[in-house]
Structure 1
Amino acid sequence: MSAPRQEGLPSSRPVLRSYALPLAAFAGGWALMMLEILGGRLMAPQYGYSVYQWGAVIGVVLGFMAAGYWKGGSVGDGPDAIPVLRGVLLAAAAWAALTPWLGPAALERTAPADPQVGSLAGAALLLGVPSFALAMVSPICAGRIAAAGRASAAGRVYAVGTLGSIGGTFFAAFFAIPTIGVSAGYAVAAAVLAAACALVPGGRAYAAGALVLALGALGAVHNEGRGFALYRETPHNTIWVRETTEEVRLHLNLLWATQSRLRKDGGPTGLYYDVFPAGPALADGARTLVLGVAGGVGPMNIRRAWPESDVLGVELDPDVVAVAREKFGLRGVRVAVSDARRFVAADRETHDLIVVDLYNGATIPFFTATREFFALLERKLDRGGVVMMNVASPADHDILIGPLAATLKAAFPSVFVSDVGGGNYFLIATKEERTAAELLARLDRAPPAARDATRRLAWSLVPADTAGQPVLTDDRSDIDLRSIIALYGE
């Protein structure tokens, strides 16, 4: 008696029958994880990078995957399994191909004021449909293989699909985003799904359609960076530069936030880094470490006001440093390309002033705002040294300033706060115990080139109120939530 013939798998192609469905599962897993990584990056201009944004992405994907697994398992037992498999692969390919065209505008128009709710809505909008569809692939493939009398092979389908997920994750994170960009990454995901369609019996027409869609997605590459003087994707950032006849602006990950602004006439920008030259006036020397260079406007302001100063900047992204030199004329400042905390831990120099201006999108990286990190800074200060930290808190001053001041106070004897305008505050911590009067006297003796900066720092300089405030640690920190409330309010 001959073996039963599996529905939708022609017996005239036994090799394809053996390998087609596991390979389709591999491609589905690959594409699914590519879309998850790319979706998180596509959401960043609206929602930034935070534990809430990535929590929303992962949670939404897993939720829709659970539904897709359930549905795929029930379909895989029926006679329509192969037609459904072709359909979900094509649907996911279409979604991937259209996302770079439609996704950014949809996110911009539907983003609510609350970034926590918005990140959930944005993740569902971008990732719900393809996560549900692609999660159906493995159980359908496993069901058809098991139906043909090879139950042991069904488990291998899930293993192969998981390997595809691993490959898609690494490909998106380590190659697609930094090398070919987000839009081209979506095109690759659609092309992978076109290949999966071709593997499925009767799927050649579907594959052709999916491939056309993938090629169409490549057209979105030409829209990336339109209207900007520079656009670049890196492993760490999406970089945009706006340039007019009057000024140059740098945006990292968030289009609504300006990381650096440079007036071409050399005048003040009105932003917080105009106040950086006040820092050396507070310390006993001008050896300055700036953590967070961005366009380099702040470090260059220090060098102009204090020509004899030695300024060392630390910036995580080498492409940001290149843009700072190319578009903002960064010069006269030594720059180390490194993670700020890792650099401070290994740094053999001591400094008179350490400026902390570290943001990842809308939030301060939690590990650069803890008692342990500030203790590292304290050890890197020479006698008479000062730490000056920028904190953006326009909507809610108390939610962020108090805990950060208390955390600094756990490592330094004196901590002060000053409103420098535009919703930005400077927290100032001193190596030795100081009074506000002593700091104001130092600011009053600053050279003329730093006088505007010292006036902006001095007018509201007071000791920070740390009573009852929590101390943030490496083990426990809610700074992501506090940063969001500080920027957006409740």
Structure 2
Amino acid sequence: MIPPARPLPTLGAAAFAGGWALMMLEILGGRLMAPHFGYSVYQWGAVIGVVMAFMAAGYWAGGRIGDGPDAPRRLVQALLAGAAWAALSPWIGPPMLARIAAGSPPDEGSIIAATALLGVPSFALAMVSPLCAGILNAGQTGGTAASAGRVSALSTMGSIGGTFFAAFAAIPHMGVSAGYGAAAAVLALGLAVLAGGRLFAVAAALLAVAAGPAALKAGEGFALYRESAHNTLYVRDDGVEVRLHLNLLNATQTRIRRDGRPTGLYYDLFPVTPALAAGLAPGAAPRVLILGLAGGAAATGIAARWPGASITGVELDPAVVDVAYSHFGLGQAAGVRPVVADARGFTERDENHYDLVIIDLYSGASIPFYTATQEFFTAVLRRLAPGGAVVMNIAAPADRDALTGPLGATLAAAAADGLAGGGPLGVFVADAGRGNHFLIATAGTADVEAVRARLPMDSPLSRTLEPSVTAGQPVLTDDRSDIDLRTIAALFGGRRG
């Protein structure tokens, strides 16, 4: 039984630990799922919804047994179950999630994966608060409502601490695997204050230590594996090609060949895109803004083809910029200025004008919704010099029109407020190869032949350039966007609005 001398501090510490670990596991779970399901609204909706569902079941179960004589033993079991699951997650989670991702569509798979990864600990740790409240009330320290209120407050304070610790300390500085170990260690401390829980606290502490080495397994086979506040970074180097993956292993953010030859992918096409700027005088050096620098393939390619070009590359994650220099040779490209900033915030604050704006913004396999809306494109068009051009990379191997149609319509709608002097703004689409497409907007002309003439005749962009079909397509806004659903349709096929 719980010692009656100091029931509230003892039970409060257990409730605090349970709340702390529960929120850590939720955030860590989302990060562990990202390499397989990305960072879409479906993934986070699945994580939050599944956790809340199992928490509700855990509260109910804890409340049913919290007033009984078996409550202290069940409390120890609940904390131990949470600690064991936390310690095992970085080991069993990745292969389990990979199997689920291989056998399920992304939206449904997210729910299945969140259930498999987070159901057990969410249920067990949600039981902690009602169990503590029941035991506290049995100690006659106050009424039922008072007991429940005190325990809930302490549990919520733990949840707040776990949320901030996971987001601002564990993931960016310790890594996901060590973060799981930290969650198990907190539960070990919660067990240590309970009578009958000290032996189990030792077991939980050993489990916490065992979670850390999982990070070594996660980095096997990669030239670099790193956690940052924004991404899980993977670099593969097979001696021929170097590839950068952010969060999602089957999506490549940058690929270069060590011998400098073309990769056969869309990265090879960026060097010709400054020619799309009608306002660029012959022989002049273009001013280029790249939103989504990643490993710098677009920047280095343009710098090599256009001597004297002034290239500003915006990248959200400073760790990605570090990798661009250490593994992708960005430092060898003249005229490239990396800027660590959010792409949308940068375009809204920047006062410079550019002949070409390249948009290649993918978080895993998804375009962040706020960088594909009328408000964002308005800010982008305001950065265009007269006769300038916008080139946006779109991955759509299964259904091109799922994204190019609405994004083209959204770009066209932004011209009224964003383009200096109004239109015309030509909106085109070109096949960039292997499931990628370039959405191209040109200020000053909407004539497809005039735009095609600016490109080298042997360029795939010149051969495949055609007007984008925007009539009847939805305009995506900050208030209303279904780009996550459309991205799934573009990548895998299926229904779309």
* 1:44 is aligned to 2:34: yes
- Equivalent position of 2:164 in the other structure: 170
Counting only pairs closer than 5 Å after superposition, residues 424-463 of structure 1 correspond to structure 2 as 424-444=436-456, 455-463=459-467
How many Å apart are 1:422 and its aligned residue? 0.8
Correspondence for 1:399 among 399, 402, 405: 402
* 1:354 is aligned to 2:357: yes
How many Å apart are 1:146 and its aligned residue? 1.6
SS at match of 1:442: coil
Alignment-mate amino acid for residue 281 of structure 1:
A
Residue deviations 1:247-296, cap 9 Å, x none? Answer: 11100001111111110110001111111112111102311000001100
Counting only pairs closer than 5 Å after superposition, residues 218-233 of structure 1 correspond to structure 2 as 218-233=212-227
- Equivalent position of 2:302 in the other structure: 302
Correspondence for 1:78 among 61, 65, 68: 68
- Equivalent position of 1:336 in the other structure: 339
- Identical residues among aligned pairs (%): 60
Tell me how far apart the structure 2 counterparts of residues 354 and 387 of structure 1 sit (CA, whole Å): 5
Residue deviations 1:91-148, cap 9 Å, x none? Answer: 1111111111111011111223310010001100110000000000000001111222
* 1:10 is aligned to 2:3: yes
How many Å apart are 1:396 and its aligned residue? 1.1
Counting only pairs closer than 5 Å after superposition, residues 77-116 of structure 1 correspond to structure 2 as 77-111=67-101, 112-116=103-107
- Structure 1 stretches of 4+ with a deviation exceeding 3 A read none
- Equivalent position of 2:412 in the other structure: 409
SS at match of 2:314: strand
Q: Report how many residues are paired.
A: 472
SS at match of 1:428: strand
* 1:136 is aligned to 2:130: no
Counting only pairs closer than 5 Å after superposition, residues 15-34 of structure 1 correspond to structure 2 as 15=6, 17-34=7-24
* 1:122 is aligned to 2:116: no
SS at match of 1:312: strand
Correspondence for 2:475 among 465, 471, 477: 471
Tell me how far apart the structure 2 counterparts of residues 42 and 25 of structure 1 sit (CA, whole Å): 25
SS at match of 1:391: strand
How many Å apart are 1:224 and its aligned residue? 2.7
- Equivalent position of 2:311 in the other structure: 311
How many Å apart are 1:221 and its aligned residue? 2.7
SS at match of 2:299: helix
Contact 1:113 1:488 in 2 (8 A): no
How many Å apart are 1:10 and its aligned residue? 3.1
How many Å apart are 1:432 and its aligned residue? 1.4
CA RMSD of aligned residues (A): 1.1
- Equivalent position of 1:419 in the other structure: 431
- Equivalent position of 2:382 in the other structure: 379
Counting only pairs closer than 5 Å after superposition, residues 179-190 of structure 1 correspond to structure 2 as 179-190=173-184
Task: Between 424-433 and 114-123, report the one with greater CA deviation.
Answer: 424-433
How many Å apart are 1:309 and its aligned residue? 1.2
How many Å apart are 1:488 and its aligned residue? 1.4
Counting only pairs closer than 5 Å after superposition, residues 359-370 of structure 1 correspond to structure 2 as 359-370=362-373
Correspondence for 1:54 among 24, 29, 44: 44
Contact 1:190 1:211 in 2 (8 A): yes
Task: Between 117-126 and 139-148, report the one with greater CA deviation.
Answer: 139-148
- Equivalent position of 1:5 in the other structure: none
Tell me how far apart the structure 2 counterparts of residues 167 and 310 of structure 1 sit (CA, whole Å): 45
Tell me how far apart the structure 1 counterparts of residues 3 and 232 of structure 2 sit (CA, whole Å): 48
Tell me how far apart the structure 1 counterparts of residues 199 and 489 of structure 2 sit (CA, whole Å): 51
Tell me how far apart the structure 2 counterparts of residues 464 and 53 of structure 1 sit (CA, whole Å): 30
Tell me how far apart the structure 2 counterparts of residues 432 and 375 of structure 1 sit (CA, whole Å): 16
- Equivalent position of 1:447 in the other structure: none
Alignment-mate amino acid for residue 117 of structure 2:
L
How many Å apart are 1:60 and its aligned residue? 0.1
SS at match of 1:250: strand
Contact 1:276 1:301 in 2 (8 A): yes
* 1:153 is aligned to 2:147: yes
Over 3 Å counting, the alpha-carbon distance change for 1:18 and 1:442 in structure 2 is: closer
Tell me how far apart the structure 2 counterparts of residues 288 and 322 of structure 1 sit (CA, whole Å): 21
Tell me how far apart the structure 2 counterparts of residues 442 and 221 of structure 1 sit (CA, whole Å): 50
Tell me how far apart the structure 1 counterparts of residues 79 and 328 of structure 2 sit (CA, whole Å): 46
* 1:487 is aligned to 2:480: no
Task: Between 131-140 and 101-110, report the one with greater CA deviation.
Answer: 101-110
Contact 1:278 1:457 in 2 (8 A): no
| Structure 1 alignment gaps of length 5 or more | 1-7, 445-450
Alignment-mate amino acid for residue 176 of structure 1:
A
